[in-house]
Structure 1
């Protein structure tokens, strides 16, 4: 049985995953509007993955006899300065999620809630991979010249990026 404090933290994470899904879906729309088809597809898939992360938490809470609580979330940012700015913001969002997941895993160990700790290991692994992917995208920006087709190359690379997880 989960403690109420653990339930609260899991519900908080569930809603944070929902926020991320909305942010990435809005980023997909911005990319599509600017002609970045690869980036648009990449962020649409990222949004779906975040929803899956949310659903896993939802199911875990239900499976433990606890009712998940969906809170209200703010609308995401709709405009970005550039594709680079958008990627930087997405990377910052992933770093926040990673910090929250690590904190949640630590908290579950402190409570000796080994079932939750085991459940969270999937998230720990996913966040490591997500951080690595976003960092590699940012690294690619430093390798190309955006004035000479570099954005096109990055956009083309993003078309296949989701398959490398």
Structure 2
């Protein structure tokens, strides 16, 4: 049985993951509006990934006999001054999500909720990958600076990303 404090924290995380999806959908719209369809495709994959994360938490709360309570999702930003500015915002956001996951792990440990702690370890690893992936894009954009050719080459590379569910992830 999920304790009320952990149930509330997981419900908050569902909302955070849904917000992440909403933010990245807004970024997809931004990239489409400036004709960087590869960046838009990258964001679309990220939207799907964040929705999957929310559903993992959703399913876990139910599996533990808890109650899911959905709250309003905050309105995301809709414009950025450049692709670099957008991806710097992504990196900052992913670092925030990492702190939320770490807080959940700390709560699970303090509550001696071993099942939640085990469940959350997948997200700890996932956040390391998220930050590294986004950090790499930020560094490439910094290298490119104002070079349109480099931006178009990176856009083509970004468009190759697709979303796929990894077998064996929690909540499947």
Question: Structure 1 length as normaliser, TM-score?
Answer: 0.94
1:57-76 to 2 correspondences below 5 Å:
57-76=57-76
Q: CA RMSD of the aligned region, Å?
A: 1.7
1:1-165 to 2 correspondences below 5 Å:
1-161=1-161
Distance (whole Å) between structure 2 residues aligned to residue 3 and residue 135 of structure 1: 36
Distance (whole Å) between structure 1 residues aligned to residue 90 and residue 103 of structure 2: 20
Distance (whole Å) between structure 2 residues aligned to residue 145 and residue 112 of structure 1: 49
Distance (whole Å) between structure 2 residues aligned to residue 59 and residue 16 of structure 1: 15
Cα displacement (A) at 1:162: 5.1
* SS class of match (1:146): coil
The total of aligned residue pairs comes to 165
* SS class of match (2:35): coil
CA offsets 1:60-119 (integer angstroms, 9 cap, x no match): 011111111110012211111111111011111100001110111121011110000001
Higher relative CO (CA 8 A, sep ≥ 6), structure 1 or 2? 2
Question: Structure 2 length as normaliser, TM-score?
Answer: 0.90
Distance (whole Å) between structure 1 residues aligned to residue 52 and residue 143 of structure 2: 33
